[in-house]
Amino acid sequence: MTSPRKKARIHWGEEGSSGKQKGVSALQKQREQLPIAKGKEALIREISDNNVIILLGETGSGKTTQVPQYILESGMADTGIIAVTQPRRVAATSLAARVAAEQGVAVGGLVGYSVRFDEACSANTRIKYVSDGMLVRELLSDPLLSRYSVIVVDEAHERTLRTDFLIANLKTIQEKRNGANDVKGKRAASNLNPLKIVIMSATLDAEKFSRFYNHARVLYVKGRQHSVQIYHTAVSQTDYVDAALRTFFQIHTDKPPGDVLIFLPGQEDIESLDKSIKLYARRLPEERMSVVVCPMYASLPPTQQARIFSPTPPNTRKCILSTNIAETSITIPGIRYVIDTGKCKEKRYLSKDTGGGFDTLLTRDITKSSAMQRAGRAGREGPGFCFRLYTEDAFTSMALSAEPEIRRCSLTQSLLQLKCLGQDLEAVEFMDRPNVEAIYSALKTLWLLSALDNAKNLTPLGRQMASFPVEPYLARIILASREHGCASEVIDIVSLISSSSNPFVDISDQRDAIADARRKFRHPSGDHMTMLNALRSYQDVATTENKSGRKEWCRQHFVNERTFVEALKIRDQLRLTCGRLGMDWRTTRADNDEAILRCFVAGLVQQSAFLQPDGSYKQTIGQAAVKIHPGSILCEKKVPAIIYDELVYTSQIYARGVSSVPKSFFTAVTPSSKQS
């Protein structure tokens, strides 16, 4: 490999202009200096006088951290908790930590958080940062969200499916709690405590939110944005990771101190760039500033996330590699340079016509609105620079803003949740209506899982499925284990599938060595039983070995300890849910893989494929030809029928998490076979 200096330099187009200074000191001083602090009194008055407020403001102006504290201090939340929703769990946990520090308390006391599989709250909690999905889940047990007095819907511009779901439901909840005619919200119509709603957004799309809430009042926080000089590449770049690497070292060798934030689409690119930057940085001349690299993505463990907020050591340049999470959800101090690859990952439902019928993450071009947010991250504390790894023409032809998730993602889980609330997807007033095809597809999935009957009514099984904090198909698998007496094994496997990373490390050029190392977990039926064996072996090792012994064992067997630790936490939650449903999670049939796989077939009816005479696999429901992923232990195997956890869409459609099952298992579970 060549040294970064010898690599071809990227040529940049024209540039922008100048800016002013800033000052930072202790936490309280910092709070007072935030742009939002100037409008504190007015803001409290407006929230007190109005039921619904739409609050817009530049990222970093203090909306997310300060507004809940202002509401708390004003006494408006004396009748209930203040919830602040976040589309991303990392944001919720890191914000709770920050606000707890500002209040001088430990997280979990006055200030807490609640995200899927993790919670730090107590009876004293008054400000609670929650993932939008958690609050949707709370609706199922408390349809009026009566524990809350103020609900702050943050990052509303992201338009995630769950945030849209909340926005729609909050409107009717507020009418019920406050009484439809009580515009000012000062008097409760019944003995219910009134609800206040604050919608916060980082982009200027207030009109739509305001119209939805009967022309609610819109407030603007003027940010303190310094100028950012923007450069575009002169020609388009084919390899954005390599272009980012070269740009980083150009900045590092040519530009004055200041941290660098690089936007990449996902974890794989982040990990690969992390490695290359470290490799090149080691070869830098002694006298040059050193480099610390900090990755940031949704599934990063909290201890590692904390590093991005810690001050950069002297004579060092921090380089943060982040997904679009750093666009608006979290503010990282010290950034002076932004490198924008122009790419992001977007969840999209691939319709059956295109051979899909499932949600998948696709890497795609960002929108103009994202590009502007990304550039803005360089101008928080002083004038900054943004290097866009795409041409100015490419910027000009970007879409203005992203399509809301409700228009492009699977609606299965939301539909089930609405059914539990006694609502129908077709009848709910959303800001944007979902596609008819997506609704139909969700109905069909729920019917295949026996969550709905032929008349589209919720079944008792469907209601139980909604109690689990996992996708309906995974809940179906767990519930099927009641019939087969193997809850313990099934829950272990589902916990692994629900973890944010794969238990098995997959390095494409070491697949033979890996297969060898893992031989002892290998189960002939496929990946599900193999995962179970791996988890059980890990648990044996965990009881006998210390930390470094465990680590070494995981390294030798090419498994991810982090996944196991996470899965064991998830398992606790799933067992708790079983307990609440009166289901015994202790039932076990350790050596009966047939019983275990039958449970998986019940949930994976739609995620299955049959072998064709030509040796390919074709989806049983849907049209796509699928291949078994090279990382699967069944890769290259020809078996009559497979079930899989997910499809990944690259050059081909690959099935991941694959098991071989007898075709006869399917006839026992599909509702169609029961009825026709």
What are the residues whose beta carbons fall under 8 Å from the beta carbon of 654, sequence distance 6 or more?
626, 627, 628, 629, 630, 647, 648
- Options 50, 51, 59, 341; binder of ligand CDP; rule CB under 6 A: 59
With beta carbons less than 8 A apart as the criterion, state whether 123 and 574 touch: no
Whole-angstrom CA distances from 38 to 49, 66, 221, 223 are 19, 12, 9, 11
Name residues whose C-beta falls within 8 Å of residue 576's C-beta, 6 or more positions apart in sequence: none
Instruction: Assess 201 for contact with ligand CDP (CB under 6 A).
Output: no
The smaller minimum CB distance to ligand CDP, of residues 66 and 237, is found at 66
Question: Is 65 a binder of ligand CDP (CB under 6 A)?
Answer: yes
Check residue 64 for interaction with Mg ion (CB under 5 A).
yes
**CB neighbourhood size of 613 (10 A):** 5
Q: Is residue 519 classed exposed, middle or buried when 0-12, 13-18 and 19+ CB atoms within 10 A define those classes?
A: exposed
In the stretch 77-116, what mask flags binding to ligand CDP with x, by CB under 6 A? -----------------xx--x------------------
Residues 6 or more apart whose CB falls under 8 angstroms from that of 291 comprise 252, 277, 278, 281, 284, 316, 317, 318, 319
List, in order, residues 6 or more apart from 457 with CB less than 8 Å away: none
Q: Which does 404 bind (CB under 5 to 8 A by kind): Mg ion, ligand CDP, none?
A: none
When asked if residue 64 is in the footprint of ligand CDP (CB under 6 A), the reply is: yes
Stretch that binds Mg ion, among 55-63, 335-343, 523-531, 544-552 (CB under 5 A): 55-63
If one asks whether residue 266 binds ligand CDP (CB under 6 A), the answer comes out as no
Q: How far is Cα 200 from Cα 558, in angstroms, rounded to an integer?
A: 44
Which lies closer to Mg ion via its Cβ, residue 64 or residue 305? Answer: 64
Tokens of residue 217, six digits: 């009042």
Residue 347: closest CA among 399, 410, 300, 297: 410
* Per-residue interface string for the shown chain with ligand CDP, residues 503-542, x marking contact by CB under 6 A: ----------------------------------------
Q: Which of residues 286-315 bind ligand CDP (CB under 6 A)?
A: 309
The yes or no reply on residue 61 touching ligand CDP (CB under 6 A) is yes
CB of 68 vs ligand CDP, minimal distance in Å: 9
Query: Is residue 178 part of the contact set for ligand CDP (CB under 6 A)?
Result: no
Q: 65 or 606: whose CB is closer to ligand CDP?
A: 65
Q: Is 63 in the site for ligand CDP (CB under 6 A)?
A: yes
Q: Which stretch binds ligand CDP (CB under 6 A): 53-61, 139-147, 263-271, 348-356?
A: 53-61
Least separation, in Å, of the C-beta of 85 and ligand CDP?
Answer: 13
- Nearest distance, CB of residue 376 and Mg ion, angstroms: 13
The yes or no reply on residue 68 touching ligand CDP (CB under 6 A) is no
Residue among 129 and 447 whose Cβ is closer to ligand CDP: 129
DSSP per position, 394-458: HHHTS-SSPPPGGGTS--HHHHHHHHHTT--TTTS--SSPPPHHHHHHHHHHHHHTTSB-TTSPB
- What is the per-residue DSSP string for 384-402? EEEEESS-HHHHHTS-SSP
Tell me if 373 contacts ligand CDP by CB under 6 A: no
* Only segment of 44-52, 62-70, 265-273, 318-326 that touches ligand CDP (CB under 6 A): 62-70
Residue 218 phi/psi, 5-degree rounding, is: -110, 130
Closest CA to 197 of 153, 234, 164: 153
Q: How many whole angstroms separate alpha carbon 306 and alpha carbon 210?
A: 36
Q: Are 190 and 29 in contact (CB under 8 A)?
A: no
User: Which residue's CB is nearer to ligand CDP, number 62 or number 631?
Assistant: 62
Smallest distance, Å, CB 331 to ligand CDP? 4
Size of the site for Mg ion (CB under 5 A): 2
Note the helical H segments in 255-318: 267-281, 302-309
Q: Closest approach of Cβ 527 to ligand CDP, in Å?
A: 38
Our CB check for ligand CDP shows the closer of 60 and 356 to be 60
Contacting positions for ligand CDP (CB under 6 A): 34, 57, 59-66, 94-95, 98, 309, 330-331, 333
